[in-house]
Amino acid sequence: MRAFSPCPLLAFPALSATASLAAMKVSSNAQLPVLHHDSPFVQEVVQAVDALHSEFRAVDNLVARNSFRVLKAFQNARVGSHYAVANSNAYNQHFSGSTGYGHDEAGGREALDQAFAEIVGAESAIVRSQFFSGTHAITCALFAFLRPGDELLAVAGAPYDTLEEVIGKRDSHGMGSLKDFGVTYRELPLAENGGLDWDALECAVKPHTRCALIQRSCGYSWRQSLSVNDIGRAIKMIKIQNPNCLVMVDNCYGEFVEGIEPPMVGADLMAGSLIKNPGGTIAPCGGYVAGKRIWVEAAAARLSAPGLGTDCGSTPGDIMRAYFQGLYLSPQMVGEAIKGTFLIAEVMASKGFKVQPLPRASRHDTVQAVQLGNRESLLAFCEAVQRSSPVGSFTKPVAGSTPGYASEVIFADGTFIDGSTSELSCDGPLREPFAVYCQVGSIPSSEG
Ligand SMILES: Cc1ncc(COP(=O)(O)O)c(C=O)c1O
């Protein structure tokens, strides 16, 4: 078990930025803040750490429970690194790479899929480097379910920005959005409190609603993230209205934040990215889809081609080892990230900033949003985080257009994996309310 290593963001020059955001004078030569004697942390953080004692303890318990689940699944999948035959049992070289079609793959792909499925309580899973990103995995899952004439219903307000062109909510210029294929789309706005609108959901599902999309994490919206229990409640409501309506959960940033996952409460599929929570900062690329076997196979056919299914796809080099190791470490990384969200919320709220989730509120994802109020503050915050990172600390992030996003977006990601958000990172679209979305996982304090 990793010892507690508190949120690095807050011990860094970034803190001098965060602590003085109201004045917003972050110079490129920001000095390290004065640290509390005998502690790697500035005063505000020392106080926050003390105040958050019971929250951190609860996170440690969560990490222990989730790590145990992962360990059991690895054992059940007989994950092994050496080929051997002993007592009639064959142990495979699960960490070895494969090339070409991947037909000569040594069993790692299957073991990883099996372990992942067990961990998230699904019948089946595909965990693959061939998924570019979370958006790609979610897209494969949506296309697995939907056919011309069907309706897609987003039940948790607007979906994440990069799904707009996938759905056809934003023009994809004939590139093959769901809309191009005759799939209609409807959105159920969130309730005023930023949660699901339960009253509206009770009668929202129509006979031709083939798929309900539930986004667990907040994305770039000022909204609540959903607990898995709430997702389960929503699934029940959806299935009562139309048992043929399939439920797909966008699980990005949700993995291991609770002790249960969406397939355990009835989701037909869920999808996410390996350069977020379940890659444990080790996975270099990839994504996953997990859920009911038949639909996982349909998503796999969408990733590759009908007929090729889940048994194809090579993974060169030592990526398989990185996947196993990252998944194994993931509950601990996520635990660090959750502690980070608590610390950011505590400190930034004490400075008068609006935060979502609120300080000490229970967490359902690894994202902490802070409203900075204007473009300059958002840019300065991201610059300060970038300066505090181990990779590219000498670079300055600039806002710009990014494939899939309609708004200008700024990313501070001085991370070892490009775009990874399980380390110290933050980002945000340059639009009202100029909120920054922070993820703070694995990077130790500059002093510690
Ligand atoms: C809720 C949510 N869904 C989907 C995505 C898209 O994931 P990716 O950037 O891996 O495509 C994100 C990205 O941050 C997200 O926050």
Please give the CATH architecture assigned to the domain spanning 72-326: 3-Layer(aba) Sandwich (3.40)
The DSSP string of 354-384 is: -EESPTTPPPSSS-EEEE--SHHHHHHHHHH
**Mutation probe of ligand 1 site: the residue of 130, 138, 140, 162 with most atoms within 8 A of C-beta:** 162
Tens of pLDDT along 231-269? 999 999 999 999 999 999 999 999 999 999 999 999 999
Q: Are 124 and 292 in contact (CB under 8 A)?
A: yes
Residue 25: the pLDDT is 31
Ligand 1 centre from 244 Cα, in Å?
A: 27
Give the pLDDT score at 93: 85
Q: Looking up tokens 């079609």, which residue turns up?
A: 101
Question: pTM here?
Answer: 0.90
Domain ranges of the chain: 8-57+331-440, 72-326
Cα-to-centroid distance, 104 and ligand 1 (Å): 33
Ligand 1 within 6 A of CB of 220? no
DSSP for 69-98, please give it: HHHHHHHHTT--SS-EEETTEEE--TT---
Question: What does the pLDDT look like over 22-46, one tens digit per residue?
Answer: 333 333 344 445 555 667 778 888 8
Position in ligand 1 atom list of the atom nearest CA 220: 16
Measure 160 CA to ligand 1 centroid, in angstroms: 7
In Å, how far are 266, 305, 313, 315 from 127, measured between CA atoms? 20, 16, 11, 11
Q: Once rounded to an integer, what is the mean pLDDT over residues 353-375?
A: 97
- Check residue 407 and give its pLDDT: 86
Q: What letter represents residue 408's amino acid?
A: E
220 SS3 class = coil
Q: What is the pLDDT of residues 168-191, one digit of tens each?
A: 999 989 999 999 999 999 999 999
- The tokens of 217 are what? 């994490």
Residue 250: CB within 6 Å of ligand 1? yes
Q: Which of 59-63, 89-93, 317-321 has the lowest mean pLDDT?
A: 89-93
CA distance 296 to 430: 36
**For 57-81, what is the mean pLDDT?**
97
CA 135 to ligand 1: nearest atom: 11
> Which of 133, 139, 160 to probe ligand 1 with, by most ligand atoms within 8 A of CB?
160
Whether residue 419 has pLDDT greater than 50: yes
How would you class 66 by CB atoms within 10 Å of its CB: exposed for 0-12, middle for 13-18, buried for 19 or more? buried
The tens digit of pLDDT for each residue in 94-107 reads 998 889 988 888 88
Cα–Cα distance for residue pair 310/362, rounded to 1 Å: 37
What mean pLDDT do residues 38-67 have?
A: 92
Alpha carbon of 228 to ligand 1 centroid (Å): 18
Q: How far is the CA of 263 from the centre of ligand 1 (A)?
A: 19
- Residue among 248, 252, 270, 402 whose CB has most ligand 1 atoms within 8 A, to mutate: 252
Q: Is residue 160 lining ligand 1, measured as CB closer than 6 Å?
A: yes
- Tell me the average pLDDT across 159-169: 97
Contact 426, 439 (CB under 8 A): yes
> From the alpha carbon of 273, which atom of ligand 1 is closest?
10
Distance between CA 303 and CA 143 in Å, rounded?
10
As a whole number, mean pLDDT of residues 128-156 equals 97
Fold annotation for 8-57+331-440: Aspartate Aminotransferase, domain 1 (3.90.1150)
Strand residues in 105-191 grouped as ranges (E): 124-128, 151-154, 184-187
Report whether pLDDT(18) > 60: no
Q: Higher model confidence: residue 32 or residue 208?
A: 208
Pick from 313, 288, 306, 291: nearest CA to 131: 288
Residue 37 confidence (pLDDT): 61
The pLDDT value given to residue 422: 83
| Residue 89, pLDDT score | 63
- 269: which 2 tokens? 């599929």
- Which pLDDT belongs to residue 445? 44
Q: What is the dihedral of CA 317, 323, 324, 330, to 10 degrees?
A: 150
Q: What is the pLDDT of residue 6?
A: 33
pLDDT given at position 17? 33
Q: How far is the CA of 211 from the centre of ligand 1 (A)?
A: 19
340 lines ligand 1 (CB under 6 A): no
Higher pLDDT, 323 or 27: 323
Rounded to whole angstroms, the Cα distance separating 134 from 288 reads 8
User: Which of the residue ranges 81-85, 347-351, 441-445 would you say has the lowest mean pLDDT?
Assistant: 441-445
Comparison of pLDDT for 285 and 309, the residue scoring more: 285
